[in-house]
Each structure stands twice: as C-alpha cells, then as structure tokens.
C-alpha cells in the first residue's frame, strides 16, 4: 500500500526567490482569497510567531485573518508583506 503525504506548499518555500515566484503566480490569478491564503502559507513557511510579532498582531488573529475564511484589512496585508521582507510594486 502506498502512503500519501498531504501537500503543504509552505514546505517548499525555502528561499526568497521561491516565495516571490509563488506570489507572482498567485497575483496573476487575481483572486483576493487566493492571495490571502498564499500570504498565510508564506507566513507559516517563515514562522507565524515571528511574522505576528513583526506585524504587531497576535498569532491567533494572524492565522484567522490569513485563513480561507479570513477577510483581512488591506492594512493587515501590507503589514504581513512588510514583515516577510517583501515589497509590493505596480507595473504596467
């Protein structure tokens, strides 16, 4: 019998390049819920406790905001992006 392991994208986001490529792909889709989910995955890959401290939010509130059912404020999204050491840019 083959044993299957549940896929967790966070396990594969080990470099800034991988994180940026992942976010670029997610942003191409344009789905706000998917972007929120992706930020949660990246935060887990970097350590949710550390990201929570850097944002000034509690770990629990960050998990909730970045969950599939979460609807974080844009300010929270910006705090998470900054805490992850990333920048948002706009291009035409």
CA distances from 81 to 8, 28, 49, 87 (A): 20, 17, 15, 7
Q: Is the pLDDT at 76 greater than 90, yes or no?
A: yes
Contacts of 59 (CB under 8 A, 6+ apart): 48, 49, 52
Report if pTM > 0.85.
yes
The residue among 28, 44, 31, 43 whose CA lies nearest residue 76 is 43
Q: What is the pLDDT of residues 5-54, one digit of tens each?
A: 899 999 999 999 999 999 999 999 999 999 999 999 999 999 999 999 99
Contacts of 65 (CB under 8 A, 6+ apart): 36, 57, 71, 72, 76
How far, in Å, CA of 70 to CA of 64, rounded?
6
């Amino acid at each position: 019998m083959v044993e299957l392991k549940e896929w967790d994208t966070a396990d594969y986001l080990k470099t800034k390049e991988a994180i940026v490529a992942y976010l670029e792909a997610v942003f191409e889709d344009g789905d706000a819920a998917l972007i929120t989910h992706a930020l949660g995955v990246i935060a887990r890959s970097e350590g949710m406790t550390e990201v929570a401290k850097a944002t000034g939010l509690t770990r629990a509130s960050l998990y909730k905001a970045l969950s599939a059912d979460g609807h974080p404020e844009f300010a929270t999204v910006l705090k998470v992006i900054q805490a992850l050491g990333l920048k948002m840019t706009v291009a035409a």
